Chains A and B, each alone.
Chain A
Amino acid sequence: MSLAGMPMREAVATLRDARGPKDIVIPSMGSAREWMALGPVHDLDFILVPSAMGHATSVGLGLALAQPDRRVIVLSGDGSLLMNLGSLVTISAESPANLVIVVFVNGVYEVTGAQVTPGPETVPVDYAALARASGIQSVFRWSSLDDWRSGIDSALGAVGPTLVVLDVAPVPGAAGPRSPGPTGERVKRFMAAVGVNPIPPVSS
């Protein structure tokens, strides 16, 4: 079911303002579109475009495990999370304290034309409850922009893994995110920013 909620761009902008200089941020799908629209990307932004269906949370888990001294913030949609719900259990099992997943819940597959996501017709899927039931202890949910702005520091400061559910309004007519450049070059830049020696990419 489609939901009313806070404006998507402002919700993303709040996170953009709050991210720390050493944080790794992984925007995907609609959140990547909004993240890039709000200004230049940080060297530690890994814009996950192109992506595989629902795997931003898993990429984030890998980065969080490999870089335990950095906070890793994943931006996912509810449609994406539905495609990889098992990742919540894997994340809980690995329990990286430095991983924060922000789920923008709008009840639709926005980038493909706002088709409704699967779920009961009368009751929205409770992603916070799914996270808790998966064993994730730090779970937050906000539906208003004011509450999100007030609560973001507590969410980002919590001992992870952390899941933040934000109820957002769909963006009518919104397109999918556009790739910001060749992937091989972006990998090299990102790994250099993380402080990892880039390894020559595989040719395919």
Chain B
Amino acid sequence: MFSGPQIASMMLDLGVTHVVTVPDSTIGAWGDAMEGIPGLEVIRVCREGEAWAIAGGLYLGGATPLVLIQCTGLFESGDALRNIVHDWKLPIPSMIGYRSYLDQSVLPGDTCLTFTEPILDAWRLPYRLITAPTQLDEVRTFLAAARQAAQPAVALIAEGRA
């Protein structure tokens, strides 16, 4: 979909200071590409719920974090994002990989396709589905607008094979 350098460049454009992440086979390469870039820290966490809480603390301390996880991690994140985004009203942006959206050959009938978007709706997270490499600017614009409005936002990135 997108290359690591493309994502790293976009993070810097958006003023992101910390990317809090659990990798998958797509977004993992993005995290690797962001390592060592001045002004951008990659925080690798053990489980996705941690990511929202760490991002919340970063935000409270004046940083500009972004959560980068797969949709399976979204399912794990419920209590943490409920607390950080809704209880505390912290507008944490995220990029979430949408497993199997583009290719179900490895996991036919992957239930990620059944539950990801309803779960985003249930958690009242505004999202933009991104399905093509030509949409990078759309991701940038969407996340920038959310930051300007101090709203949470999810760029939901279609992925290929699991």
Contacts and interface: CB of A to CB of B under 8 A. Distances in A.
B161 interface: no
Contacts of B41: 65
Given A191-B62, A196-B62, A86 B45 contact: yes
Contacts of A184: 88-89
Interface in B14-58: 18, 41, 43-47, 49-50, 52-58
Contacts of A51: 83
21 contacts: A50-B87, A52-B49, A52-B80, A52-B83, A53-B79, A59-B60, A62-B54, A62-B55, A63-B58, A65-B54, A66-B59, A86-B45, A86-B46, A89-B46, A90-B45, A184-B88, A187-B88, A190-B60, A194-B60, A201-B89, A202-B91
B47 to A, nearest CB: 5
Contact of A66 (B53, B62, B83, B91): B62
Contact of B54 (A50, A59, A196): A59
Contacts of A14: none
Interface residues of B, number: 38
B60 A93 contact: no
Contact of B53 (A59, A190, A200): A59
Contacts of A143: none
Interface of A is mostly: helix
Interface in A77-126: 84, 86-87, 89-90, 93-94
Nearest to A86: B46
A94 B41 CA distance: 10
B150 interface: yes
B56 A67 contact: no
Contact of A201 (B44, B45, B54, B91): B91
A199 B150 contact: yes
Contact of A200 (B46, B62, B65, B150): B150
Contacts of B44: 90, 93
A61 interface: yes
A58 interface: yes
A64 to B, nearest CB: 8
A52 B61 contact: no
Given A58-B54, A65-B63, A66-B63, A202 B83 contact: no
Contacts of B63: 62, 65-66
